[in-house]
Amino acid sequence: MVVQVEVSQGTLQGKECTTYYGKKYYSFEGMPYAQPPLGRLRFRDPQEPESWKGVRDATRPGNKCCQLNPYIQSNLEGSEDCLYLNVYTPSLPSEKLEKLPVLFFVHGGRFIFGYGDYYKPDYFMKHDVILVTINYRLNVLGFLCLHIPEVPGNAGFKDQV
């Protein structure tokens, strides 16, 4: 079943899911939290995402950030257009339930690999927690610092803030 919510940039269409434990939750994946860091925005601080008209599909995760597969070092995967987050919640805003704690999970991976939807939300939904996971720029695209305005450094950390 699909569900819709309003956010400041527009309307999102997510989906209703069920955990391994049989509990219902709602999933909104692939939500942009910044403009794609392409062209003049590469290496720069993340910029506010643009609004959209109509309903944006949020039923699938966004692109992984560029990374080498940690198991097969020669395989590059992902995209520079990768600043997306995922929200998993046991209730919708329209249900007007009590406020729930929010867990903002930043994946590990030594700043060279990983992505926000690697771990699934089943365990946290069992405990009535809203789970937010993100992708952030990795490796050179996220942490190169040349001390010049075009490449000030630590874009990957700035993505997380």
Residue 98: what pLDDT? 77
Q: Which of 63, 59, 52 is nearest to 26 (CA)?
A: 59
Mean pLDDT across the chain: 92
pLDDT single digits (tens) 112-137: 999 999 988 999 998 989 999 999 99
Residue 104: what pLDDT? 96
Mean pLDDT value across residues 30-34: 97
- Residue in this structure with the two tokens 């729930």, named with its chain if needed: 100
**Confidence band of 145 (pLDDT split at 50, 70, 90):** very high
**Confidence band of 141 (pLDDT split at 50, 70, 90):** very high
Report yes or no: 63 and 57 within 8 Å, Cβ to Cβ.
no
Residue 161 vs residue 73, higher pLDDT: 161
Return the amino acid letter for 103: L
- Rounded to an integer, what distance in angstroms lies between the CA atom of residue 125 and that of residue 90? 6
**Residue 65 DSSP label:** B
> For residue 50, is pLDDT > 70?
yes
Query: In terms of DSSP bridges, do strands 55-57 and 24-32 run parallel, antiparallel, or are they unpaired?
Result: unpaired
> For residue 96, is pLDDT > 70?
no
Q: Where are the beta strands (DSSP E) in the chain?
A: 2-7, 10-18, 24-32, 55-57, 67-68, 76-77, 84-89, 102-105, 130-134
Which residues is 132 bridged to in the sheet? Answer: 87, 104
Q: Where are the beta strands (DSSP E) in 33-129?
A: 55-57, 67-68, 76-77, 84-89, 102-105
CA angle 34, 39, 44 (to 5 degrees): 55
Mean pLDDT value across residues 4-31: 95
pLDDT single digits (tens) 67-90: 987 777 678 889 999 999 999 999
Report yes or no: 87 and 28 within 8 Å, Cβ to Cβ.
yes
